[in-house]
Amino acid sequence: MASGVDPSPDSSSQDPYSVLGLEKGAAFEEIQSAREKLLAETGEDPLAKAKIEASYDALLMNSLKERQLGNVSSAAISASKKENGAREAGGATEERGSLLTRLGGIRPSLADGGSQSILPELALPEGQGLTIRLTLGAFLLLLLIVSPQGSAELILALSTIGVFLSQVRRKRRPLSSLGWSVVLLSMGLIIGGLLLSLADNLQVINTELASEKIESLPAFILLWAGSLFLA
């Protein structure tokens, strides 16, 4: 291989192989390597660089013509392999991009599967969901009123679970649903405790069963309202 390009007028008559310092039938990798090496050796000489590039382009065009005519040379085969490798690499890049796109799409899908807002929206369910909530709430309220002592805790526990499940079914995140269920229960118990203290001061409660129901009733009402309105 030649170590440089002769910019003299005599060298213009050389064929592209001679300019690149190659033998005819050189492989594509050899042509590309010769081009890169000569460009590095010529420095900033624009004429020499132009001659190298012209020779390189001529060899590529020659390879293309041979392939179109059915004359598959070693240079054409190498060029074809090179092109196929580039396409495969491009396909792999596109596939990785598609995978990243799908992974990136998890976030929107999670957003679609659960509300991102901490504060819930207020909306009544429709159809069968509303009927079930009203029926179960009325049944548990009646059970709370007529139940014996000690059953209020079980009813409140079931009501809290019902609020949690109601919010999850209405596309809220489980952690947020659990948090609001506990908040409603706590607020109800606080209100019930205040009512119980007021009733004690007024001395209107005669039995421990009545005290338990007064303390539990606000919590149950808030939980029932949560199952109906929280979304």
pLDDT tens digits along 144-190: 888 887 788 888 888 899 888 888 888 888 888 888 889 999 998 99
Query: What does the angle CA 14 – CA 20 – CA 25 come to, to the nearest 5 degrees?
Result: 90
pLDDT value of residue 88: 58
pLDDT value of residue 101: 46
pTM above 0.85, yes or no: no
Per-run averaged pLDDT (10 residues), the chain, 231 residues: 49 72 82 87 85 86 71 52 56 48 42 54 81 88 83 88 87 86 90 85 72 86 87 65
Q: For the chain, first and last CA: distance in Å? A: 77
- In which element (H, E) is residue 114 found? none
CA 95 from centre of chain: 16
The domain ranges of the chain are 9-102, 128-229
Is the sign of the CA dihedral 55, 61, 65, 67 positive or negative?
positive
Burial of residue 118 (CB within 10 Å: 0-12, 13-18, 19+) is: exposed
Residues in the chain: 231
Reference 19, options 57, 59, 51; nearest CA is 51
pLDDT value of residue 109: 38
pLDDT value of residue 187: 92
Tokens read off for 68: 């179109």
Q: Does domain 9-102 have CATH number 1.10.287?
A: yes
- Cα–Cα dist 79/25, whole Å: 12
pLDDT value of residue 190: 92
